[in-house]
Amino acid sequence: MHYVIIGAGPAGVNAAEHLRKYDPSGQITMLVAEDVPPYSRMALPYYLVGNIAAEGTYLRKNENHFESLGITLKQGRASSVDTQSKRITLLGGETIDYDKLLVASGATATRPPIPGIDSKGVHNCWSLRDAHKIVADTEPGSKVILMGAGFIGCIILEALASRGVDLTVIEMENRMVSRMTNEVMGTMIKDWCVAKGINVLTSTKVSEIAEASGDDSLRVITEGGETLPADVVICATGVRSNTAFLDGSGIQVDMGIVVDDFMQTSASDVYAAGDVAQGRDLSTGEYYVQAIQPTAVEHGKLAAQNMAHGHKTPHPGNVNMNVLDTVGLISTSFGMWMGVEGGEEAEMSDIENFKYLNLQFKDDVLVGASSLGMTQHVGVMRGLIQTGAHLGEWKDKLLKEPNRISEAYLASAQRQHVNLGA
Amino acid sequence: MQKSLHIDPGKCTGCLQCESACSLVNEGMVNPSKSRIKVFTFHDEGRFVPYTCTQCDEAWCMQACPVDAIVLNPVNGSKDVLSDVCVGCKVCTIACPFGTINYNTSTGKVVKCDLCGGDPECVEACPTQAITYVDANATGLDKMRAWAAKTDNAAGA
């Protein structure tokens, strides 16, 4: 049995390790696209800030880890997949035959289609190579404009701010991290950033990036007609699943690769996991590209189970969730943080001290939550959402005092003998 | 034989000696807010529930860690954070559905119970044997179920 895995991020690596566990004698080949050992994008901001060396971003620290498990790492990028002859072709023409294939090719940062977006001095912050370039091109006092205050934009803010650069963030939505915050929380994050000396422009769209004459600097022009000078522009406006090489394969792609509850794609013996896969969302039951680390890991494991053991482990769905550190202010969001129709909401807001907690209920079940400035026991929000535990009388207590969430968890979820095993 | 923490909330008086001992030994200061074991108070029922990591088999935190900074201690079965490897991304703190791995803002790293390497200080400190360190022959699920039942008694809700 030859298992081939396209991609060496968290989904690919976890799948490879679990395949080895479930099938001690199978042949496992993992395609690594970049010319560095498998690493974590989650760790890049900490590399950028100088807390860790590049090696600190590696997913596995033991140099012989993959070799010792009999997992062959092969450098290369897939250019096409033939699901009839079960063969993938790499850029350069080499082919690899598979018995079972896992596509875990992840996502890539995109750039908006505006004039000048490909100017020298415009970077993404997605790969280790991008991070190296940003480090090389910035110094204290450099004028840096960050386009996009989404999750990735915010997580690299601290790294940029701590490099002593003169930083401006431009976001087209009316608040920061609009995909994980409501207006109250998003505005608090903005106020926090402004207090830290970061210039934040929300509800602002960049219309053009122009190269200044005479030097290497850039001019960022907004739709409102404002012109902002910049030495470096960092584009963090969005990512897209890496599916282009599947064109012509017949494998069905929507926002990401469409998978069933066993992580199998529309082609038999081809599976998908991680940021490239449109997997089941636990809260909605719909199929959605979550593009988050815990989901990538769980997808990888689940795909491996189904590839090695047959389709015995249906996917219950993943809780969509995020944790974000914006220049020291920590926010989380879980499940249906924006609420559901016919649901109820509990809110605790301490704007002066940058503390906020919002709980969303459907009947007596927690279905979503978001928090700001909380670091203790935040995982219980996942626990409650994932188990669907009935809160009973605790729901009324939480409507009055949402910050008793940990007690509510102890009193309800754990009492109901919930099975969190996967 | 591996051992695990056994918590009997019915015996807890809420004296918080466990929190003091934990923070002193692990953080070098008596500061319950930095303790890895937390005593929750249910004022309505006059009950106290000490709460910390069960070293669950699933090890959600360990699986979610993007940089391999949480490892299985082969001797006592605990899942230990390697502080020098942890980058402080906090993904484990949302992945753990028990909420028992937490971010320490002063160090920029996460912390969790590691059973003090096999000699838990909270057990030593507890004057009423509400926290004991006993042979762990139950499976992870059984452990959780036992825990669940105990919590039920304690909360009395």
ipTM confidence: 0.92
Q: What is the pLDDT of residues A185-202, one digit of tens each?
A: 999 999 999 999 999 999
| Segment B94-148, tens digit of pLDDT | 999 999 999 999 999 999 999 999 999 999 999 999 999 998 765 454 555 555 5
Indicate yes or no: pTM above 0.80.
yes
- Residue in B49, B94, B102 closest to A321 by CB: B94
Domain boundaries, chain B: 3-155
Confidence class for position B155, pLDDT limits 50, 70, 90:
very low
Cα separation of A58 and A22, whole Å? 24
How are beta strands A2-6 and A27-32 bridged, if at all? parallel
| CATH 3.50.50.60 domain position(s) in chain A | 2-108+240-309, 122-237
CATH 3.30.390 domain span(s) along chain A: 336-416
> pLDDT value at position A156?
85
Say which CATH topology domain A336-416 has: Enolase-like; domain 1 (3.30.390)
B149 pLDDT tier (thresholds 50, 70, 90): low
Q: Do B157 and A322 touch (CB under 8 A)?
A: no
Class of CATH domain A2-108+240-309: alpha beta
Please give the Cα distance from A298 to A14 (Å, whole number): 8
pLDDT for residue B137: 67
Q: What is the pLDDT of residues B37-82, one digit of tens each?
A: 999 999 888 899 999 999 999 999 999 999 999 999 999 999 999 9
Between CA B146 and CA A94 the distance in angstroms is 55
**Is B57 in Cβ contact with A323 (below 8 Å)?**
no
Four-way CATH pick for A122-237: 3.40.50.2300, 3.50.50.60, 3.40.630.10, 3.30.1280.10: 3.50.50.60
**What is the helix (H) or strand (E) element at residue A329, kind and residue range?**
strand A329-335
- Cβ count within 10 A of residue B106: 7
Structure tokens that stand for A256 in this block: 């990401």
Crossing angle of the two packed helices A293-309 and A10-22, in degrees rounded to 10 = 30
Chain B interface includes A394 (CB < 8 A): yes
Which of the two residues, A106 and B154, has the higher pLDDT score? A106
DSSP state of B49: E
Q: Do A382 and B97 touch (CB under 8 A)?
A: yes
Cα–Cα distance between A202 and A388 in angstroms, integer?
36
| Mean pLDDT along residues A14-18 | 98
Name every chain A residue with its beta carbon within 8 A of the beta carbon of B145.
Answer: 417
CA atoms of A231 and A254, how far apart (whole Å): 37
Smallest CA-to-CA distance from A242 within A274, A287, A281 is with: A274
Q: CATH says B3-155 is which class?
A: alpha beta
